Structure 1
Amino acid sequence: MSPMLDQLSLWLKEREITEVECLISDLTGIVRGKISPTSKFVQERGMRLPESVLLQTVTGDYVDDDIYYSLLDPADIDMFCRPDPNAVFVVPWASEPTAQVIHDTYDKHGTPIDLSPRNILKHVLALYAERGWQPIVAPEMEFYLTRRCDDPDLPLQPPIGRSGRQETGRQSFSIDAANEFDPLFEDMYDWCEAQGLDLDTLIHEEGTAQMEINFRHGEALHLADQILVFKRTMREAALKHNVAATFMAKPITDEPGSAMHLHQSVVDAQTGQNIFSNADGSMSELFLHHVGGLQRYIPELLPLFAPNVNSFRRFLPDTSAPVNVEWGEENRTVGLRVPDSDAQNRRVENRLPGADANPYLAIAASLLCGYIGMVEGIEPSAPVKGRGYERRNLRLSLNLEAALERMESCAALEQYLSARFIKAYVAVKRAENENFKRVISSWEREFLLFSV
């Protein structure tokens, strides 16, 4: 056993952990894996899972056989999942001492599997490391609290707060509206502290019972792990208080969507200096090229930021979400906002990813776009001053089908992301989209049933 795994075993023993949840993320961001007695976990030092897990859709279905067998061994072989000792968290809501351990996936030769979202992010971070760069990210997660409802045909309703009343109207940044759910958030903060999650602020967002949690800035892989764990934690805290928490991009009609805003900067790995700023504090060429790369390649990788049919409802007109990849300083009406800051903290905020995006893939894609811009010297457009919602330049695909076609046809990406990963991701999302199109919506029944 390696020294790091020895340390992990000691960590489990000191906390008297009796069960270990062995986790990986599939392409959609769903946590999959096994629950193991601690003794067996320590003995086996990991787990095996069918590699087909990485091609499951959000409904648990799989892609068409032709694509499936072109990507995976027809014998449905196992992949080898090894625990990352730096991605270990307690499970505070469990009835007995339990830990959750995020694993990396490898084939039988020890090669990282290129369909794994966590491996994709690690690959992008390795590109930065080869240049002596280290990305720094700070995610912001928006979500809704709703009443629990077991009928998916019914619209979601705001939950009842401490006052015994439902929230009404827009309550952006309201302290009292957030305090309606104090007992829930106290549990959430306690559980996040127990897990070592780097939470910063809690904000009441614009939507009815819509909240936002900001994370402190830090290393990209660690923050992606934390988002995966936080989403589980938030859902569990909500259930404890008989409400639901949803990270759907657009869960409620006529309410704002939920985003996963990503603040990102890059520092010199040796000195820690922000390479986005010159010595005199002005914007560096690398910063401008990073923005240029985001503008050029976000539209090609949009399915990694907006992975579901529902994701594109965030981008409808008058929904408080950006619909382009324009950029501007202190401008929330464009997709790429540059917050006002000092030279060392200069960063760009990618406001396009939805809260429903897989955190590993969204962070990897956002950093990759900026990386390509820096190494290829891509110049950005002129920054937008004033309102940017109506800008039609650099417009995004209007639906998932168009976005998948664009991602599939972008040959330039294949030198950075494997053709196998792109084929697999597009296939999974197309399978989900076909599944969606089989469902007849309430809108169709309401307006077409007796009218056409």
Structure 2
Amino acid sequence: MSSKLDQLTGWLKERKITEVECLISDLTGIARGKISPTNKFLDEKGMRLPESVLLQTVTGDYVEDDIYYELLDPADIDMFCRPDPDAVFLVPWAIEPTAQVIHDTYDKMGNPIEISPRNILKRVLKMYADKGWQPIVAPEMEFYLTKRCEDPDLPFQPPIGRSGRQETGRQSFSIDAANEFDPLFEDMYDWCEAQGLDLDTLIHEEGTAQMEINFRHGEALHLADQILVFKRTMREAALKHNVAATFMAKPMTGEPGSAMHLHQSVVDLETGRNIFSNSDGTMSQLFLHHVGGLQKYIPELLPLFAPNVNSFRRFLPDTSAPVNVEWGEENRTVGLRVPDSDPQNRRVENRLPGADANPYLAIAASLLCGYIGMVEELPPSQPVKGRGYERRNLRLPLTLEAALERMETCRPLEKYLSPKFITGYIAVKRAEQENYHRVISSWEREFLMLSV
């Protein structure tokens, strides 16, 4: 580790970095931390943050006191955050030469903090490594560009492009519609290249001013880091061009939701062979068990894929999102699609995570479901041929309340995930849900004010 820290020191000095953004991800996926002068960062080689940061809600609130003190020290002590030399990125939009460094979190005894999202993913990856396996993932991130708006009571509107007009209608895969925002995407690509992000293609998705960025396949932890950085980058590029970028799962009424599709496969660490295929190119039993695990446990871990009240609006009927964990080959109407590919690239695409999910937790949960399927030899259902939207045998919980209750009562998960993490995550989501229920919506004012 000391040699890697030396490499980090050399990297910062070579680029004349004057400030370092020291980051961790909270449960929501918000980057929290401190901004440090480079000299101080190099002297301290880490930072300390209150461990309570990890139990902060998206609204800035905290969980109830009884759960708070059950999970955390009553003295609100610090956790120790150490930089990961393999998770260092430039901040190209900063005025001064600045870097962002993702940190891991530990207690004073050097033990990983159990409720840290990055540590959860590392825990799942170790399960694979202990079996001699390595997961390979390729995320696809959907998002919307919108006009900037200061009033949260007003609906989002599509931004005005280079033509001076707002986009109308569905423009799936339209090159010209994507090029309406070409200056914005040129900055985004330049900044992502400067940061070493493994971007592949840009696609105009089905929704009005809805876009998708695909990442090249790679190692799971590195890709989760990249998604965290990419979201920051995309928002900054949008702001520079006086529009907004949102990764909400369902930001606009009548428009499709935004997903974080996860392609995943597993290779043997010794041979590099894809264990999802037999030597004759057919589907292996491990692949079928992996699918079986996804089918059984995604409904139990759904809050990690759909973490917000808004997430479940994406699962409403006629929203272009699958609401089941059926599987099928080359079938986008099911939750688990198996793309047509050669045997070495055989993979399953989990189409259920929302773009609003924490990338560390969504990737960890998706890989964990498949892992449990392989070690417990869980059989999948029969693959679906044809339209799968209406399939009801393997449907998901359709509200956050129901999903949290299901996750809370799934005892087998405690064998694989820390009970402290499960308790803390559910408590944070329930605190956010309570905050949501305190807000009176425009729908209530419109339809109930003079009618009831």
TM-score, normalising length: structure 1: 1.00
Q: Distance in 1 between matches of 2:301 and 2:45?
A: 35
Aligned residues: 452
The residue number in structure 1 matching 2:64 is 64
Query: Shift in Å at residue 387 of structure 1?
Result: 0.1
The residue number in structure 2 matching 1:425 is 425
The residue number in structure 1 matching 2:119 is 119
Query: Shift in Å at residue 394 of structure 1?
Result: 1.2
Query: Shift in Å at residue 128 of structure 1?
Result: 0.0
The residue number in structure 2 matching 1:451 is 451
- Superimposed CA distance per residue, residues 37-60 of structure 1 (whole angstroms, 9 cap, x where no aligned partner): 000000000000000000000001
Q: Distance in 2 between matches of 1:31 and 1:394?
A: 35
The residue number in structure 2 matching 1:52 is 52
**Given residue 18 of structure 1, which amino acid in structure 2 is its aligned partner?**
T
Q: Distance in 2 between matches of 1:83 and 1:150?
A: 36
The residue number in structure 2 matching 1:288 is 288
**Given residue 172 of structure 1, which amino acid in structure 2 is its aligned partner?**
S
Query: Shift in Å at residue 2 of structure 1?
Result: 1.2
- Superimposed CA distance per residue, residues 135-194 of structure 1 (whole angstroms, 9 cap, x where no aligned partner): 000000000000000000000000000000000000000000000000000000000000
Query: Where do 1:285-364 residues align within 5 Å?
Result: 285-364=285-364
Q: Distance in 2 between matches of 1:5 and 1:93?
A: 25
Secondary structure of residue in 2 paired with 1:406: helix
Query: Shift in Å at residue 219 of structure 1?
Result: 0.1
**Given residue 132 of structure 1, which amino acid in structure 2 is its aligned partner?**
G
- Superimposed CA distance per residue, residues 377-436 of structure 1 (whole angstroms, 9 cap, x where no aligned partner): 000000000000000011100100000000000000001001110000000000000000
The residue number in structure 2 matching 1:86 is 86
Q: Distance in 1 between matches of 2:285 and 2:311?
A: 33
The residue number in structure 1 matching 2:14 is 14
Secondary structure of residue in 2 paired with 1:318: coil
Q: Distance in 2 between matches of 1:179 and 1:436?
A: 37
Q: Distance in 2 between matches of 1:428 and 1:414?
A: 18
Q: Distance in 2 between matches of 1:315 and 1:295?
A: 17
**Given residue 413 of structure 1, which amino acid in structure 2 is its aligned partner?**
L
Q: Distance in 2 between matches of 1:316 and 1:449?
A: 26
Query: Where do 1:406-445 residues align within 5 Å?
Result: 406-445=406-445
The residue number in structure 1 matching 2:179 is 179
Q: Distance in 2 between matches of 1:387 and 1:2?
A: 55
The residue number in structure 2 matching 1:401 is 401
Q: Distance in 1 between matches of 2:87 and 2:62?
A: 28
Q: Which runs of 5+ in 1 are unaligned?
A: none
The residue number in structure 1 matching 2:204 is 204
The residue number in structure 1 matching 2:381 is 381
Q: Distance in 2 between matches of 1:111 and 1:388?
A: 45
The residue number in structure 1 matching 2:135 is 135
Q: Distance in 1 between matches of 2:209 and 2:225?
A: 26
Q: Distance in 2 between matches of 1:195 and 1:270?
A: 31
- Superimposed CA distance per residue, residues 188-208 of structure 1 (whole angstroms, 9 cap, x where no aligned partner): 000000000000000000000
Query: Shift in Å at residue 72 of structure 1?
Result: 0.2
Q: Distance in 2 between matches of 1:5 and 1:178?
A: 41
The residue number in structure 1 matching 2:367 is 367
Secondary structure of residue in 1 paired with 2:431: helix
Query: Shift in Å at residue 307 of structure 1?
Result: 0.1
TM-score, normalising length: structure 2: 1.00
**Given residue 232 of structure 1, which amino acid in structure 2 is its aligned partner?**
R
Give the alignment's Cα RMSD to 1 decimal: 0.5
Q: Distance in 1 between matches of 2:4 and 2:174?
A: 45
**Given residue 195 of structure 1, which amino acid in structure 2 is its aligned partner?**
Q
Query: Where do 1:187-266 residues align within 5 Å?
Result: 187-266=187-266
The runs of at least 4 consecutive aligned structure 1 residues that moved more than 2 Å come to none
Q: Distance in 2 between matches of 1:180 and 1:99?
A: 31
